[in-house]
Amino acid sequence: MKVVIAPDSFKESLPAADVAAAIAAGVLQACPDARVDLCPMADGGEGTVAAMVAATGGRYVTADVFGPLGAPLRAQFGLLGRPAGAGLPGEVGLSGAVGELAGEGAAAGGATTAVIEMAAASGLALVPEGRRDPRQTTSYGTGLLLLAALDAGARDIVVGIGGSATVDGGAGCAQALGVAFTDAAGAPCVCGLAGGGLTDIADFDLAARDARVAQARIRVACDVTNPLLGPAGAARVYGPQKGATPEVVEILEANLTHLAGLIRGAGAAGGLGAGLIAFAGASLCRGVQLVAEAVRLRERLVGADLCLTGEGRLDGQTAHGKAAFGVAEVARAAGVPCVCIPGAAAADAPTGAFAAVHPLVAGEVTMRLALQTPATFLKRRAAEAVRALVG
């Protein structure tokens, strides 16, 4: 029996590699003769750099940046290698055109493709729970990571924007790239613009932007495709996850509406997608597709009897580009049943996309127990899934 194990990370709990290892232990407990293939996944959020660096034989680079609250921070990004014959997909813009991710330099041994995670410099996990307020957080550090990638020679940059702490419309990131924002009096806006300061912007100027930005190909790897504004927009959907009260959500919505008068774009990651499109000429791509191709998921599913995936929470957002849903799509195309083992499953979870769903939080297992020892319950649920399949 061949089992491909392709989970995402469980946010603020276990990285994808550890989730895969725990699931593998459960598979082997239920079926000691099984052949397991561990294939950690990501969708543009945390773990994207690790998955793609490992899959392509790349390397990590460390840069000095600033965190979402302005404190100095050391963050990593990846420079990709490119195994022989491993083609990677490219941007998916409004036209749906698909290109090639890795540059020719990477194929020749000089890595030119960089992968950055917004979470590494501007992530929610970097902000203590008591200080989470998207009126105060900025994506400035993500812009510094982009500059560091350009300094490292990358001219093809993938930016994973999941797990952010910000709702600044990408203005902070743009400032780090050299974009100048001015207020109604023509004075420069404060450096490190945050979600609460967007209404100060009266105009912006790209003239001082780093010239290399225009020469680079920048892809925004999204896990979701929410609009910038409205009920499904950046403030109302993601603001509460980042510490915004209902009153603050309305302030952020008004501030993003003001910014939208200057730019147009996508709303994932607190509007960073919109900001990168407007201020850096970026295009959108589906993060899970990039990672699936990088790890050769389709090829690894050939001859498999079962695919196991998972994520921290299976809910209505899962179907909008999250890793588990993307894995299920690839498995379905390969004719392989895909079982999901999430931390928890919400009432609106797209359970029909999977052959079965075995959440950790079920029966006697509470959320508190699952968070205390997630590996234990991942192993248990994986064993249950395999036993249900083999009888």
The tokens for 158 are 């993938």
315 belongs to a structural domain: yes
240 and 121, same structural domain?
A: yes
The tokens for 146 are 């982009």
For the chain, what is the mean pLDDT? 85
**pLDDT classification of 272: cutoffs 50, 70, 90:** low
What percentage of the chain exceeds 70 in pLDDT?
Answer: 87
Kindly report which listed range (42-56, 70-84, 168-182, 232-246) carries the lowest average pLDDT score.
Answer: 232-246
234 and 144, same structural domain?
A: yes
**Are 177 and 213 spatial neighbours (Cβ–Cβ below 8 Å)?**
yes
d(CA 382, CA 357): 10
151 and 85, same structural domain?
A: yes
**Are 163 and 11 spatial neighbours (Cβ–Cβ below 8 Å)?**
yes
What local confidence, expressed as pLDDT, does residue 225 receive?
Answer: 60
274 and 233, same structural domain?
A: yes
248 and 224, same structural domain?
A: yes
235 belongs to a structural domain: yes
**pLDDT classification of 45: cutoffs 50, 70, 90:** confident
Q: Which residue has the tokens 């607190």?
A: 270
* Nearest Cα to Cα of residue 137 among 148, 145, 147, 125: 125
pLDDT in tens, 277-317: 888 888 888 889 888 988 889 999 999 999 999 999 999 88
**pLDDT classification of 270: cutoffs 50, 70, 90:** very low
116 and 70, same structural domain?
A: yes
What is the arithmetic mean of pLDDT over 112-133?
92
d(CA 265, CA 271): 8
What local confidence, expressed as pLDDT, does residue 222 receive?
Answer: 74
Task: Determine how β-strand 35-38 pairs with β-strand 2-5.
Answer: parallel
For residue 130, the domain's CATH number is 3.90.1510.10
209 and 75, same structural domain?
A: yes
List 14's β-bridge partners, or say none. Answer: 10
What local confidence, expressed as pLDDT, does residue 271 receive?
Answer: 57
113 belongs to a structural domain: yes
**pTM of the complete model:** 0.78
Length of the chain: 391
Residue 317 belongs to what domain range?
A: 2-41+301-390
305 and 240, same structural domain?
A: no
| 228 vs 60, more confident | 60
150 and 235, same structural domain?
A: yes
293 belongs to a structural domain: no
84 and 7, same structural domain?
A: no
**pLDDT classification of 144: cutoffs 50, 70, 90:** very high
294 belongs to a structural domain: no
For residue 335, the domain's CATH number is 3.40.50.10350
pLDDT in tens, 73-119: 999 999 998 643 344 433 332 222 222 343 333 333 444 899 999 99
Domain boundary among 234, 260, 288: 288
What local confidence, expressed as pLDDT, does residue 268 receive?
Answer: 47
55 and 16, same structural domain?
A: no
* Nearest Cα to Cα of residue 172 among 64, 29, 23, 68: 68
The secondary structure of residue 150, as a DSSP letter, is H
What local confidence, expressed as pLDDT, does residue 110 receive?
Answer: 45
Q: Residue 84: phi, psi to the nearest 5?
A: -55, 130
Domain boundary among 235, 263, 288: 288
64 belongs to a structural domain: yes
235 pLDDT exceeds 70? Answer: yes
53 and 28, same structural domain?
A: no
Kindly report which listed range (12-16, 148-152, 170-174, 229-233) carries the lowest average pLDDT score.
Answer: 229-233
d(CA 181, CA 169): 13
CA of 221: how far to CAs of 22, 73, 103, 286, 287, in Å? 27, 23, 17, 5, 4
Helix residue spans in the chain (DSSP H): 16-30, 48-56, 104-107, 118-122, 140-151, 171-176, 211-215, 246-260, 268-280, 287-294, 297-300, 323-333, 367-372, 374-390
**pLDDT classification of 224: cutoffs 50, 70, 90:** low
What is the arithmetic mean of pLDDT over 14-20?
92
pLDDT in tens, 332-370: 999 999 999 999 999 999 999 999 999 999 999 999 999
Q: Which residue has the tokens 């996508």?
A: 266
296 belongs to a structural domain: no
Three-class SS state of 231? coil
What local confidence, expressed as pLDDT, does residue 365 receive?
Answer: 93
Domain boundary among 227, 262, 288: 288
Q: Per the structure, how many domains does the chain have?
A: 2
Three-class SS state of 190? coil
295 belongs to a structural domain: no
Count of beta carbons in the 10 Å neighbourhood of residue 56: 24
